[in-house]
């Protein structure tokens, strides 16, 4: 666990993480319930989940290395940026498993190499 301080030890000799802790149950494919000591019972607000950032794992196929595949779902917008020698096309892409608000700008070259037309 990050950010736990040891009395009298500062700087790079202070421990960065503590643990390991006993796993009491597996809640989700990538979430576990741990048995924590009483002094670690309080959780800081920044560690709580934000509902907008939670991905529904029932709709995603999670691979054994805990990754999932993203594919472009829809192109929402297009713009061009010019350099001295060439013009670069950018596309605002909505990805599978994400909403329109989470769309990202991607270069045309990247999209053509990673996701060629079939």
* Residue-level pLDDT at 9: 58
> pTM higher than 0.95, yes or no?
no
Q: What is the maximum alpha-carbon separation in the chain?
A: 62
> What is the Cα–Cα distance from 2 to 15, expressed in whole angstroms?
9
Per-residue pLDDT, 81? 95
What is the model's pLDDT at position 26? 93
Spell out, as residue ranges, where the chain has pLDDT lower than 70: 1-16, 51-57, 118
| Residue whose C-alpha is closest to residue 21's, from 3, 5, 40 | 40
**What DSSP state is assigned to residue 67?**
-
- Predicted pLDDT of residue 48: 73
pLDDT of residue 66: 78
Percentage helix, strand, coil for the chain under 3-state DSSP, each rounded to 5: 20, 30, 50
């Amino acid at each position: 666990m990050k950010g736990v301080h040891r009395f009298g030890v500062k700087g790079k000799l202070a421990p960065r993480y503590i643990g390991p802790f006993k796993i009491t149950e597996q809640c989700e494919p990538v979430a576990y319930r741990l048995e924590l000591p009483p002094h670690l019972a309080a959780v800081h607000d920044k560690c709580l989940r934000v509902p907008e950032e939670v991905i529904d794992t029932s709709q995603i196929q999670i691979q054994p290395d805990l990754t999932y595949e993203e594919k472009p779902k829809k192109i929402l917008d297009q713009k061009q940026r010019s350099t001295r020698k060439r013009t670069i096309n950018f596309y605002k892409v909505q990805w599978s498993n994400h909403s329109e608000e989470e769309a990202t700008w991607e270069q045309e070259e990247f999209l053509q190499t990673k996701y060629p037309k079939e």
